Copies of this chain bind each other. A is one copy, B any other.
Amino acid sequence: MAASTLTEVARLAGVSPATASRVLNGSARKPGQDIAERVRQAADSLGYIPNAQAQGLAKSSSGLIGLIVHDIADPYFAAIALGVQEAAREQRKMVLLATTAGAPADEKEAVAAFAARRADSIVIAGSRSSRPEDKEGNAELAAELDRYCRNGGHVGVVGHPVVGATAAGGYHVVTVPNEELAASLAAELTASQEGDFVIIGGPEGLFTSDDRVRGFQRGLAKAGRHPAEVLRSAFNRSGGYEAGLALAARIKDARRDGSSGAGSERAGSKGTKRICIFAVNDVMAIGAAAALRSEGLRIPRDATIAGFDDIETLRDFRPALSTVRLPLEEIGRQATRSAARADAGTDDAEGATSPISGQITLRRSTETAA
């Protein structure tokens, strides 16, 4: 038994397909009460479900929102995805998910697939990169996105504008003040941290990471500190772990070198106060913390550490992680809404979404009292 069609419903109700269509799927013209009733009854006696593909073809709009993330299992993206999902629901649309591991080539492919499905809008989360090896991929991605926009699509971008995008009206970026927030974080930290700062960053060229690094350095400079050394590794937990391992070795070395003095200074003498680590995201921070711990170092005793994002699942981590809270769900919602609003032709200035802001959240991992 194949799914029943509008025509069957119409026949059963004794009306034309046109009329059936008008009553079942909101049309401007409302058929008479009696007829409408007949059609409706016929419809659910047959268990009629409209074929969205056909509807889409006819109306040329699909009710689909494409979402591109690096990794849906990463809580950062999962939170954004939840927001997107909610916004989609408001618009009575469904979301098509693509995970790309951040590879521009895959992202391009995803965009093409979304375009093929005539997604009404697409939301692209996850940092763009400007790494040389991604250059070509980025260009293709931008071209694909541009084409999508020129064909009437709208894309909501989380964070940074897409590199090389030229289609004017199609892009709607939700700006996340990564740099400012990182600067503020640095400012607050300098108040309590006496030792040197070290930054664990993602690969160079990853915008989100670069912004946060830059902001943090700026904050340090403003506070009269010298710039932090920057360790680069993968933008995930294991990246953080690796960097953490390197730092652990260094901390231990420093301690050994200076261990001649009395035991009053906890992290060696020689002017080397306890270092403060800033990892550009929470997941990396957790990885780094795990590495330190595995090397017998304790936080905040032997080193302090701060992250970024304030991932909900990680809030129960101990010592509680100092970080910058970002309204991830809201970010996802806004990206989705802004793209949709433009899609609907509503004036973008009207009901513009409030700018994203974050909140410095100092917790145990950077306490210096102990």
Would you call A115 and B79 a contact (CB within 8 A)? no
Would you call B151 and A2 a contact (CB within 8 A)? yes
A210 near B: Cβ within 8 Å? no
Would you call A115 and B3 a contact (CB within 8 A)? yes
A12 near B: Cβ within 8 Å? no
Which residues of B lie under 8 Å from residue A318 when comparing CB positions?
293, 317-318
Would you call A49 and B115 a contact (CB within 8 A)? yes
Which residues of B lie under 8 Å from residue A349 when comparing CB positions?
none
Which residues of B lie under 8 Å from residue A52 when comparing CB positions?
113, 116-118
Spot the interface stretch: A14-22, A30-38, A92-100, A218-226.
Answer: A92-100
Would you call A72 and B62 a contact (CB within 8 A)? no
CA distance A116 to B96 in the complex (A): 15
Q: Give the Cβ gap from A118 to chain B, nearest Cβ, in Å.
A: 6
Q: Give the Cβ gap from A323 to chain B, nearest Cβ, in Å.
A: 15
Would you call A72 and B72 a contact (CB within 8 A)? yes
Q: Which of B73, B150, B151 contacts A78 (CB 8 A)?
A: B73
Spot the interface stretch: A53-61, A125-133, A198-206.
Answer: A53-61
A313 near B: Cβ within 8 Å? yes
Would you call A82 and B94 a contact (CB within 8 A)? no
Would you call A147 and B290 a contact (CB within 8 A)? no
Within 8 A of B (CB), among A55-101: 56-57, 62, 64, 67, 71-75, 78-79, 81-82, 85, 94-99
Q: Give the Cβ gap from A288 to chain B, nearest Cβ, in Å.
A: 10
Q: Give the Cβ gap from A211 to chain B, nearest Cβ, in Å.
A: 24
Would you call B94 and A95 a contact (CB within 8 A)? no
Would you call A85 and B72 a contact (CB within 8 A)? yes
Given contacts A54-B57, A96-B95, contact A290 B313 (CB under 8 A): no
Q: Which of B1, B314, B329 contacts A150 (CB 8 A)?
A: B1
Which residues of B lie under 8 Å from residue A295 when comparing CB positions?
none
Which residues of B lie under 8 Å from residue A2 when comparing CB positions?
151-152
CA distance A224 to B98 in the complex (A): 50
Would you call B47 and A53 a contact (CB within 8 A)? no
Which residues of B lie under 8 Å from residue A118 when comparing CB positions?
51-53
Would you call B95 and A97 a contact (CB within 8 A)? yes
A155 near B: Cβ within 8 Å? no
Q: Which of B53, B74, B329 contacts A57 (CB 8 A)?
A: B53
Q: Which of B53, B56, B99, B329 contacts A85 (CB 8 A)?
A: B99
Which residues of B lie under 8 Å from residue A117 when comparing CB positions?
52-53, 94
A289 near B: Cβ within 8 Å? yes
A312 near B: Cβ within 8 Å? yes
Which residues of B lie under 8 Å from residue A98 when comparing CB positions?
94
Q: Give the Cβ gap from A168 to chain B, nearest Cβ, in Å.
A: 14
What residues of chain A have their CB less than 8 Å away from a CB belonging to chain B? Answer: 1-3, 47, 49-54, 56-57, 62, 64, 67, 71-75, 78-79, 81-82, 85, 94-99, 112-113, 115-118, 147, 150-152, 237, 283, 286-287, 289-290, 293, 312-314, 316-318, 329
Q: List 9 A-B contacts (CB under 8 A).
A: A53-B56, A78-B78, A82-B99, A85-B99, A94-B97, A94-B117, A293-B318, A313-B314, A317-B317
What are the 4 closest A-B residue pairs judged by CB atoms, nearest first? A52-B116, A73-B82, A53-B56, A52-B117
